[in-house]
Every structure is written in structure tokens, then in C-alpha cells.
Amino acid sequence: MSKVGETTLVLDLTALEHNYQYLQSKIKPETRFLGVVKAFAYGSDMVTVAQKLEQLGADYLAVAYVSEGVLLREAGIQLPILVLHPLASNFDDLIANHLEPSIYSRNILNQFLEAAKAQKQTDYPIHIKFNTGLNRLGFSDTDVDFIAEATKRSECIKIVSVFSHLAASEDKNERNFSLNQIKSFENLSKTLMDRLGYAPMRHMLNTSGIINYPEAQFEMVRSGIGIYGYGNQAEIDAQLQPIATLKTIISQIHQINANESVGYNRAFTSNRPIKSATLPIGHADGIGRQYGKGKGFVTINNKKAPILGNVCMDMIMVDVTEIDCKEGDEAIVFGPEKSAEKFASTANTISYEILTAISQRVKREVKNK
């Protein structure tokens, strides 16, 4: 087998294209597609993914913060970019980079009006976010008049979309809650559009929303996790292809005698002779300590190697007693064969968390550019 080298997150753009086309097949031809690339494109490679989405014909991108949007502009991305959580202190940067703010409160609307005026903007595109039950960010029904009055009074801004976010789109038991959110969004956006006298785009669905509430596509959908190959339910996972494979190698193999311990705090003590392998990946790379003590495992030569004892900053030790392997062999943390969702579940978390946790120290390699 060829040498793998250092710990690497390999990104397969053919898989990304497949996922994009799959999601497209779930929406009407006229529905626009916004690709969510926040948090380094869910821990992958933000610029690479944004470029690919631009090339594939996505209509919009979204990031969480202004600094993320600035990185995309610096890399030459031309698509409109929605900033989901801008803060007033970043408005000048936002405008300078032609990023489009989500406006979610009276306070942030007033502050943005001031910034847009100071920068002598006309019809600067903004997106109005309604809270319909997630109770995270967003205006409520009592704010509609305020939004309409404030935007009609000012030449500086123009509402290009109205949106909201589902709280439990992946949870079939919360179907009534989600349907109520959709109904309330429809009513809020209608009232606002009547007051404005024009019709901005409306959007509400994330990846699981696209799958479970196709009737609520409105004019655009916003997908993040689906692009990266995860669908929050087994039937959808089966249709998607994880774009990222996290792999590393065996640095050293040790024979451990009965009653010897492995790693910090002697968190693992063996009751029999075993064989351990040390891998150059640890909690500084995103493998949290919650994966330690036998919960998380890597795959070596198609066999399961559970983590022994505590996860160190730069290393883990795994049990390879039953595995025919040698120093230099490859170890897979997650990938298409053993999904990040499955790895995450060993520590009671979700694909979103492990994917976005992979630190910038881990080398990125892009396949099929």
C-alpha cells in the first residue's frame, strides 16, 4: 500500500456534485438554491466548496459571520452571499465586500440603516429573518409594521428576501410544529409584502426541510449538510455521498502486557496482552475527549479499532489486537464507508459537530477538482 502521509481530510468534488444534483432533483426547476458554506463549509474547505457551487450554478451562498464572507470575496467568489448572523461592529466590512445581511431585530435594522446611510448606499440588499418558533434570531409578528415603515422611509436598503428557519425539520414527531412554523411564516411574509408593495423571495427550508416539506420551497431553499453528503435520516443518507474522508496513519505499534496502562491518567488498563497503535490525530484536530475510552473507533484494514483510554492533544491510541496491520498503514476516522454520522453517534453527537470540529491544522486535499 502507498504511504498516506500526515492526517488528511480528503474532499471529493464528484461526491459534492452528486449531492448537489440530488438536492436539485428534490426542488422545482424554478426554485433557487442557496448553498450554506458557513464554518469552513462544515469543516471541509470553504473556498473550494464555494467555487464548486458557483460552477454548478447555485444561486446564493450563506455564511454565519462577516469574516467568512470576506474570505470568500478575497478568493474571488462572485455569487451573492447572505450573512446569517452579522453584528453591527462588522457592517462596514460587510458593505465593503458586498455581503448581504440577515436583519433579525429592530436594533440590528436601525444600526444597519445608519451604516448604509453613512456609506451612501442605495437599495442595499438585505434579508429579513422571522422567528417562527426556533427562538434563536428573528423578528416577530409585532415587528412587521416597524420593518415596513423603516424600509419604506429609507432609500438606502431594499429587502430582497424574507426567511425563517425550521426548528425540527428532521423530526417526524414534530411535523405539526413544523407545519405551524411554515403557516406562520407564510402569513408573516404576506403581511410584510402587502405593506411593502413588492414581493421579495421567501425561503424557509434547510436540507431536512427540502426532504420533508417540499410544499414549502417558496422561491429558494438553503442546504448545508446535504451538500456535504448527510441527510439526517437513513433513506436520504443512502442517496447522498459524504464528500469528506478523514484519514491518518499508524505511527507506532506497541505490545501492551496485562496490567499495563495506555495514555494519560492511565485511563485504560489492560487485563490481557494487547497490541496498540498510535495515530497522529487528537483533540487539537477535532477528535474530542468524549470519543475516548472505547467509544469512538477508527477503521484499519477494514476492521474496527476502538480508541484506548484518553484522547491526547495530538494523538490517539487504538486497539489493534485483532487487526493484521503495521506501522505506516492507513486508518480511517470517517468517510463514505464509515460515515461521520456513525462516528459522531459513538459520542452521542451528530455529523454536523464532528465535521465542523476538524481543525484547520488538518491538511485538506481535494480530489476531482
Ligand X SMILES: *Cc1c(COP(=O)(O)O)cnc(C)c1O
By CB under 6 A, is residue 207 in contact with ligand X? yes
By CB under 6 A, is residue 189 in contact with ligand X? no
CA dist 367 and 68 (Å) reads 23
Q: Which of 38, 52, 129, 338 is catalytic?
A: 38
Cβ nearer to ligand X, comparing 170 with 329: 170
Q: Which of 264, 275, 304, 342 is catalytic?
A: 264
Q: How far is the CB of 48 from ligand X (least distance, A)?
A: 18
274: cell is 494487547
By CB under 6 A, is residue 222 in contact with ligand X? yes
Of the residues 53, 66, 84, 103, which one makes contact with ligand X according to CB under 6 A:
84
Of the residues 126, 159, 225, 262, which one makes contact with ligand X according to CB under 6 A:
225
Measured CA to CA in angstroms, residue 60 lies from 34, 51, 317 at distances of: 4, 12, 43
By CB under 6 A, is residue 178 in contact with ligand X? no
By CB under 6 A, is residue 318 in contact with ligand X? no
Cβ nearer to ligand X, comparing 44 with 207: 207
316: cell is 490517539
Of the residues 32, 165, 247, 283, which one makes contact with ligand X according to CB under 6 A:
165
Measured CA to CA in angstroms, residue 323 lies from 158, 309, 310, 326 at distances of: 62, 18, 21, 9
Cβ nearer to ligand X, comparing 51 with 208: 208
CB under 8 Å to 176, separation ≥6 — which residues? none
CA dist 343 and 354 (Å) reads 8
Catalytic, 264? Answer: yes
Half-sphere exposure of 309 toward its Cβ, with a 13 Å CA cutoff?
Answer: 19
By CB under 6 A, is residue 223 in contact with ligand X? yes
Tell me whether residue 27 is exposed, middle or buried, using C-beta atoms within 10 angstroms of its C-beta: 0 to 12, 13 to 18, 19 or more: middle
Residues that bind ligand X (CB under 6 A): 36, 38, 84, 165, 206-207, 222-226
Catalytic (active-site) positions = 38, 264
